[in-house]
Structure 1
Amino acid sequence: MLDINGGELLILVLVAIVVIGPERMPEYARQLREWVLRGRDLLRDSKASVKAEIGDDVDWSQLDPRQYDPRRIVRDALSEPSSPAPRAAAAPRASSPATPGKAPFDADAT
Protein backbone atom coordinates (compact mmCIF):
# COMPACT_ATOMS: atom_id res chain seq x y z
CA MET A 1 0.00 0.00 0.00
CA LEU A 2 2.53 2.64 1.10
CA ASP A 3 5.52 0.55 0.02
CA ILE A 4 7.75 1.66 2.92
CA ASN A 5 10.53 -0.68 4.02
CA GLY A 6 12.07 -0.88 7.51
CA GLY A 7 14.90 1.58 6.84
CA GLU A 8 12.57 4.21 5.44
CA LEU A 9 10.22 3.78 8.41
CA LEU A 10 13.11 4.26 10.83
CA ILE A 11 14.15 7.47 9.04
CA LEU A 12 10.56 8.76 9.16
CA VAL A 13 10.35 8.05 12.90
CA LEU A 14 13.65 9.83 13.52
CA VAL A 15 12.55 12.86 11.47
CA ALA A 16 9.24 12.92 13.37
CA ILE A 17 11.10 12.87 16.70
CA VAL A 18 13.33 15.75 15.61
CA VAL A 19 10.50 17.83 14.11
CA ILE A 20 7.85 17.15 16.75
CA GLY A 21 10.17 16.82 19.70
CA PRO A 22 10.35 14.12 22.32
CA GLU A 23 8.08 16.05 24.68
CA ARG A 24 5.06 16.07 22.37
CA MET A 25 5.71 12.65 20.77
CA PRO A 26 3.52 10.62 23.22
CA GLU A 27 0.57 12.94 22.58
CA TYR A 28 0.90 12.55 18.80
CA ALA A 29 1.33 8.79 19.15
CA ARG A 30 -1.95 8.63 21.11
CA GLN A 31 -3.72 10.67 18.43
CA LEU A 32 -2.37 8.39 15.71
CA ARG A 33 -3.58 5.36 17.68
CA GLU A 34 -7.07 6.90 17.98
CA TRP A 35 -7.20 7.60 14.22
CA VAL A 36 -6.16 4.06 13.41
CA LEU A 37 -8.76 2.61 15.79
CA ARG A 38 -11.48 4.88 14.35
CA GLY A 39 -10.52 3.90 10.82
CA ARG A 40 -10.58 0.21 11.74
CA ASP A 41 -14.00 0.56 13.38
CA LEU A 42 -15.34 2.50 10.39
CA LEU A 43 -14.10 -0.18 8.00
CA ARG A 44 -15.58 -2.96 10.13
CA ASP A 45 -18.96 -1.17 10.35
CA SER A 46 -18.95 -0.50 6.61
CA LYS A 47 -18.24 -4.14 5.85
CA ALA A 48 -21.05 -5.22 8.18
CA SER A 49 -23.57 -2.82 6.60
CA VAL A 50 -22.63 -3.92 3.06
CA LYS A 51 -22.99 -7.56 4.09
CA ALA A 52 -26.39 -6.81 5.69
CA GLU A 53 -27.60 -4.92 2.60
CA ILE A 54 -26.35 -7.35 -0.04
CA GLY A 55 -26.33 -10.64 1.80
CA ASP A 56 -24.14 -13.69 1.36
CA ASP A 57 -25.44 -14.88 -2.00
CA VAL A 58 -23.50 -12.38 -4.15
CA ASP A 59 -21.30 -13.67 -6.96
CA TRP A 60 -18.38 -11.25 -6.60
CA SER A 61 -16.75 -12.51 -9.80
CA GLN A 62 -19.62 -10.93 -11.75
CA LEU A 63 -18.81 -7.56 -10.16
CA ASP A 64 -15.08 -7.67 -10.93
CA PRO A 65 -14.18 -4.47 -12.85
CA ARG A 66 -11.21 -6.22 -14.49
CA GLN A 67 -13.64 -8.05 -16.75
CA TYR A 68 -14.27 -4.77 -18.59
CA ASP A 69 -10.61 -4.24 -19.52
CA PRO A 70 -10.56 -3.60 -23.30
CA ARG A 71 -7.42 -5.72 -23.74
CA ARG A 72 -9.14 -8.68 -22.10
CA ILE A 73 -12.29 -8.21 -24.18
CA VAL A 74 -10.30 -8.20 -27.42
CA ARG A 75 -8.17 -11.16 -26.31
CA ASP A 76 -11.30 -13.16 -25.41
CA ALA A 77 -12.98 -12.25 -28.69
CA LEU A 78 -9.96 -13.28 -30.72
CA SER A 79 -9.55 -16.57 -28.88
CA GLU A 80 -13.15 -17.68 -29.49
CA PRO A 81 -13.53 -20.22 -32.28
CA SER A 82 -15.09 -18.62 -35.30
CA SER A 83 -18.31 -20.14 -36.54
CA PRO A 84 -19.12 -20.01 -40.23
CA ALA A 85 -21.45 -17.15 -41.01
CA PRO A 86 -24.79 -18.10 -42.58
CA ARG A 87 -24.87 -17.32 -46.28
CA ALA A 88 -27.39 -14.76 -47.35
CA ALA A 89 -29.16 -14.96 -50.65
CA ALA A 90 -26.81 -13.49 -53.21
CA ALA A 91 -28.11 -10.35 -54.89
CA PRO A 92 -27.83 -10.19 -58.66
CA ARG A 93 -24.67 -8.38 -59.67
CA ALA A 94 -23.87 -6.27 -62.63
CA SER A 95 -22.04 -8.10 -65.38
CA SER A 96 -19.06 -5.75 -65.38
CA PRO A 97 -17.01 -5.14 -62.25
CA ALA A 98 -16.62 -1.60 -60.95
CA THR A 99 -13.76 0.36 -62.38
CA PRO A 100 -10.92 0.99 -59.96
CA GLY A 101 -11.07 4.37 -58.29
CA LYS A 102 -14.83 4.78 -58.75
CA ALA A 103 -17.53 3.74 -56.34
CA PRO A 104 -20.08 1.27 -57.72
CA PHE A 105 -23.42 2.80 -58.64
CA ASP A 106 -26.73 1.03 -58.26
CA ALA A 107 -29.65 2.79 -59.96
CA ASP A 108 -32.22 0.72 -58.05
CA ALA A 109 -30.85 1.72 -54.66
CA THR A 110 -31.32 5.46 -55.13
Structure 2
Amino acid sequence: MKKLTQREEMAYSTIARFEVELEQAKVGVWIKCSDRLPEYNQNVLVCFETVLKTQQITTAELNHQKRCSDPASTDFDEIWYVTVGRGHKIKPTHWQPLPAPPTE
Protein backbone atom coordinates (compact mmCIF):
# COMPACT_ATOMS: atom_id res chain seq x y z
CA MET A 1 0.00 0.00 0.00
CA LYS A 2 1.32 3.43 -1.00
CA LYS A 3 2.22 5.79 1.84
CA LEU A 4 0.18 9.00 1.70
CA THR A 5 1.92 12.32 1.46
CA GLN A 6 1.33 14.89 4.19
CA ARG A 7 -0.88 16.88 1.80
CA GLU A 8 -2.99 13.80 1.01
CA GLU A 9 -3.34 12.98 4.72
CA MET A 10 -4.52 16.56 5.40
CA ALA A 11 -7.02 16.35 2.53
CA TYR A 12 -8.46 13.04 3.80
CA SER A 13 -8.63 14.43 7.33
CA THR A 14 -10.47 17.54 6.12
CA ILE A 15 -12.93 15.46 4.08
CA ALA A 16 -13.60 13.20 7.07
CA ARG A 17 -14.21 16.21 9.33
CA PHE A 18 -16.61 17.76 6.81
CA GLU A 19 -18.48 14.44 6.47
CA VAL A 20 -18.96 14.34 10.26
CA GLU A 21 -20.10 17.97 10.36
CA LEU A 22 -22.50 17.39 7.47
CA GLU A 23 -23.98 14.38 9.24
CA GLN A 24 -24.31 16.31 12.49
CA ALA A 25 -25.97 19.25 10.74
CA LYS A 26 -28.92 17.08 9.79
CA VAL A 27 -32.04 17.83 11.78
CA GLY A 28 -32.78 15.11 14.30
CA VAL A 29 -29.15 14.33 15.14
CA TRP A 30 -28.12 15.30 18.67
CA ILE A 31 -24.68 16.90 18.96
CA LYS A 32 -22.79 16.76 22.26
CA CYS A 33 -22.02 20.23 23.58
CA SER A 34 -18.57 18.95 24.50
CA ASP A 35 -17.96 18.08 20.81
CA ARG A 36 -19.23 21.24 19.15
CA LEU A 37 -21.33 24.30 19.97
CA PRO A 38 -23.72 26.18 17.69
CA GLU A 39 -23.09 29.74 16.55
CA TYR A 40 -23.87 32.43 19.12
CA ASN A 41 -27.46 33.73 19.17
CA GLN A 42 -28.72 30.81 17.04
CA ASN A 43 -31.99 29.36 18.34
CA VAL A 44 -31.53 25.57 18.62
CA LEU A 45 -33.18 22.59 20.26
CA VAL A 46 -31.37 21.55 23.46
CA CYS A 47 -31.51 18.67 25.92
CA PHE A 48 -30.54 19.29 29.54
CA GLU A 49 -30.80 17.56 32.91
CA THR A 50 -33.10 19.10 35.51
CA VAL A 51 -32.38 19.29 39.24
CA LEU A 52 -34.58 16.19 39.57
CA LYS A 53 -32.17 14.35 37.21
CA THR A 54 -34.72 14.08 34.39
CA GLN A 55 -33.99 15.09 30.83
CA GLN A 56 -35.89 17.98 29.33
CA ILE A 57 -35.96 19.40 25.80
CA THR A 58 -36.49 23.08 24.96
CA THR A 59 -35.17 25.78 22.66
CA ALA A 60 -32.24 27.94 23.70
CA GLU A 61 -29.55 30.30 22.42
CA LEU A 62 -25.87 30.30 23.28
CA ASN A 63 -24.59 33.76 24.20
CA HIS A 64 -21.40 35.13 25.65
CA GLN A 65 -21.17 37.51 28.56
CA LYS A 66 -18.19 39.39 29.97
CA ARG A 67 -16.86 38.01 33.22
CA CYS A 68 -16.20 41.47 34.66
CA SER A 69 -17.26 45.08 34.00
CA ASP A 70 -13.82 46.14 32.71
CA PRO A 71 -14.40 47.30 29.08
CA ALA A 72 -10.88 46.16 28.14
CA SER A 73 -11.50 42.63 29.37
CA THR A 74 -11.65 39.89 26.77
CA ASP A 75 -12.75 37.19 29.23
CA PHE A 76 -16.19 35.85 28.38
CA ASP A 77 -18.40 33.09 29.76
CA GLU A 78 -20.58 31.07 27.43
CA ILE A 79 -24.17 31.09 28.71
CA TRP A 80 -27.23 29.28 27.39
CA TYR A 81 -30.58 31.04 27.71
CA VAL A 82 -33.94 29.36 27.20
CA THR A 83 -35.79 31.19 24.41
CA VAL A 84 -39.30 30.11 25.43
CA GLY A 85 -40.73 31.24 28.77
CA ARG A 86 -38.73 33.25 31.26
CA GLY A 87 -35.34 33.06 29.56
CA HIS A 88 -33.60 31.32 32.47
CA LYS A 89 -30.08 29.90 32.20
CA ILE A 90 -29.51 26.18 31.59
CA LYS A 91 -26.57 23.84 31.00
CA PRO A 92 -27.45 21.60 28.02
CA THR A 93 -25.66 18.34 27.30
CA HIS A 94 -26.75 18.12 23.64
CA TRP A 95 -28.20 20.34 20.90
CA GLN A 96 -29.45 20.16 17.33
CA PRO A 97 -30.62 22.61 14.67
CA LEU A 98 -34.32 23.42 14.58
CA PRO A 99 -36.29 21.92 11.70
CA ALA A 100 -37.56 24.21 8.95
CA PRO A 101 -41.02 25.67 9.65
CA PRO A 102 -44.00 24.13 7.85
CA THR A 103 -44.75 25.47 4.38
CA GLU A 104 -48.52 24.90 4.47
The interval holding the TM-score normalised by the smaller chain is under 0.3
The structure with more helix, counted as a fraction of residues:
1
Q: Which has the higher contact order (CA 8 A, sep 6+)?
A: 2
The structure with more strand, counted as a fraction of residues:
2
TM-score, normalised to structure 1, is: 0.22
TM-score, normalised to structure 2, is: 0.23
Which one has a bigger Cα radius of gyration?
A: 1
